[in-house]
Amino acid sequence: MDAGAERGGESFVGHENTKKNSLLILKDRIIIVTGGANGIGRALCRRFAVEGAKAIVVADVDAHGARSVADEVGGLPVATDVTRESDVRRLVQTTIDKFGGIDLFCSNAGIAVDGGEATPDADWRRSWDVNVMGHVYAARAVLPPMLAAGGGYLLQTVSAAGLLTHIHSATYAVTKHAALAFAEWISVAYGDRGIRVSVLCPQGVKTDMLARAAESGREFLLDTALEPERVADDVVKGIADERFLILPHPEVAEYFRRKAADYDRWLRGMRRLRAVTR
């Protein structure tokens, strides 16, 4: 018996009123959050608990941090390195074995490495493995059981850098563009088979990642940085509306429109911004 039949054949998007009340989406749902030990991931776990999720699986390479968050939200910690496909497959199978299925997979783990074309190959590979292959491994592992169950939801934490760019980090900009493209492809390929996809694309968020950037003198995102809890609120609303793009900073949509309308002008503006934020 497949997971969908075992749980009454109810797909993640099966409620008629899902867009009217987010509780109807997240209440009693089985959710995995990678990168769940800190920052946005931790805020998502806490918010999903408030929404009444049936199970929250907190996955992180930081096993102690995952356990701490899981204890707080009544969830299950699973030590997971998203750069290892075997770890991601084990995470998915552990969740299915214990809870009977997966409704929402939040592929949230990510890293930031400054640098340009001369950035060492090892840093390029590490950025690619976490920021891109982490999403690929998640899709490979979770799509078959979701499709067998009749549907499911993927949330991928990308960044405004995936829509725009990162003026100080080629590795971050390139991998976040790739992550966005992969999410688009998943939506195109599987959207008619019950798979919903959202990408979370904030600018600055008050996390350890942003704090490290500020310490290195890159403070240009601090003025508009949001608390992770605010971002989690926007995620709940975005999932309720089944929006592909979740933009906690609404101005990003305007920047994206300007980029599309006049690419050369946008590039000139980004060069000016880079010059004043070195």
Burial 69-88 (b: 16+ CB within 10 A, else e): bbeebebbbbbbbbbebebb
Q: What is the pLDDT of residues 149-206, one digit of tens each?
A: 999 999 999 999 999 999 889 999 999 999 999 999 999 999 999 999 999 999 887 8
* Confidence category of residue 20, pLDDT binned at 50, 70, 90: very low
| pLDDT for residue 226 | 86
Q: What is the pLDDT of residues 227-242, one digit of tens each?
A: 999 999 999 999 999 9
- Ordered by where they begin, the domains of the chain are 17-276 (3.40.50.720)
pLDDT at 53 exceeding the cut of 60: yes
| pLDDT for residue 278 | 63
Concatenated DSSP letters of the chain: --HHHHTTT--TT--TTTTT-HHHHHTT-EEEEETTTSHHHHHHHHHHHHTT-SEEEEEES-HHHHHHHHHHHT-EEEE--TT-HHHHHHHHHHHHHHHS--SEEEE-------B-TTS-HHHHHHHHIIIIIHHHHHHHHHHHHHHHHT-EEEEEE--HHHHS--TTBHHHHHHHHHHHHHHHHHHHHHGGGTEEEEEE--S-BSSHHHHHHHHTT--TTGGG-B-HHHHHHHHHHHHHTT-SEE-SSTHHHHHHHHHHH-HHHHHHHHHHHHHH--
| pLDDT for residue 256 | 96
| pLDDT for residue 16 | 39
| pLDDT for residue 15 | 40
Q: What is the pLDDT of residues 89-133, one digit of tens each?
A: 999 999 999 999 999 999 999 999 888 999 999 999 999 999 999
High-pLDDT (> 70) share of the chain, % = 85
pTM of the model: 0.88
Which residue in the block uniquely carries the two structure tokens 């995620």? 235
| pLDDT for residue 214 | 52
Are 138 and 88 in contact, with CB atoms under 8 Å apart?
yes
Are 196 and 12 in contact, with CB atoms under 8 Å apart?
yes
Query: Which residues partner with 32 through β-bridges?
Result: 57, 105
Average of pLDDT values for 68-72?
98
Exposure on the CB side of residue 126, measured as CA atoms within 13 A: 9
Query: In Å, how far from its chain's centre is CA 96?
Result: 20
